[in-house]
Amino acid sequence: MSVYKKIKEFILGKDIRYICEQFATERNGILKSESGDLFVTYEHSGFRYNIANKTYYVTSGGRTFEKKYMIGIVEFFNPIKIELCITQDDILTKIGKVFNRKDITINNKDFDKKYFLQSNHEYKAIAILKNEILINQIISLQPDRLEIINDKGLFNELPEDGKYMLYYAKQEKLKTIEQLNNIHFLLNNFIEILKDNYSIH
């Protein structure tokens, strides 16, 4: 590697395409590009995973700003139709609580302080999040949104007909392969819990 490339990599980080290619190879997946954004799709334990680096543009005061998001999706059939939504507890959720939007607590002070949880199956959602490894992964990765839905994601992603999706989203730039691996591990742990306890397939 040339000195110029080493300096560039040190300042800017590794090339995103190279990181995604490496991840795709490790997961026996396929690297694809859509509107300039990259995503890796692969099969794992009978489920299809998609992990992507998405770009979102915001216009404010006559200027356009670029925001980068990490997105992770796993689709599945959901016999009990459980839905849940974990978002960071911010000003909007605090306003929602004033108007009786119920925040489910799981009696984990680190999680309950930082996140707002809603579900159509309160006790099942609590049981899922009692898994110590999973809750530590969520707290460590700090997603902006982690949910089970059969509706649109942030970038209008939709699961196949009849399926739900486990959906991860966080505003951050892709810099290392560890980010992709950590998203995979969180999604995979979540899916295994759902598979073992609620017969998703």
Q: Tens of pLDDT along 109-167? A: 999 999 999 999 999 999 999 999 999 999 999 999 999 999 999 999 999 999 999 99
71 DSSP β-pair partners: 52, 169
For the chain, the domain total comes to 1
pLDDT recorded at residue 60: 82
| CB-based contact 43:70 (threshold 8 Å) | no
Higher pLDDT, 149 or 13: 149
Residue 63: give the domain boundaries.
3-198
Among 3-17, 27-41, 45-59, 156-170, the range scoring the smallest mean pLDDT is 3-17
30 DSSP β-pair partners: 41
Q: Residues near 123 by Cβ (< 8 Å), separated by ≥ 6?
A: none
User: Which residue type sits at 185?
Assistant: F
Is pTM beyond 0.75 here? yes
Alpha-carbon distance 7 to 12, whole Å? 8
172: pLDDT strictly greater than 90: yes
pLDDT recorded at residue 14: 57
- Selection from 163, 144, 149 nearest residue 68 by Cα: 144
pLDDT tens column, 20-43:
999 999 999 999 998 889 999 999
First to last CA, the chain: 45
**Rounded mean pLDDT, 46-52:** 97
Alpha helices in the chain (DSSP H): 3-12, 16-26, 91-98, 109-114, 122-128, 132-141, 177-198
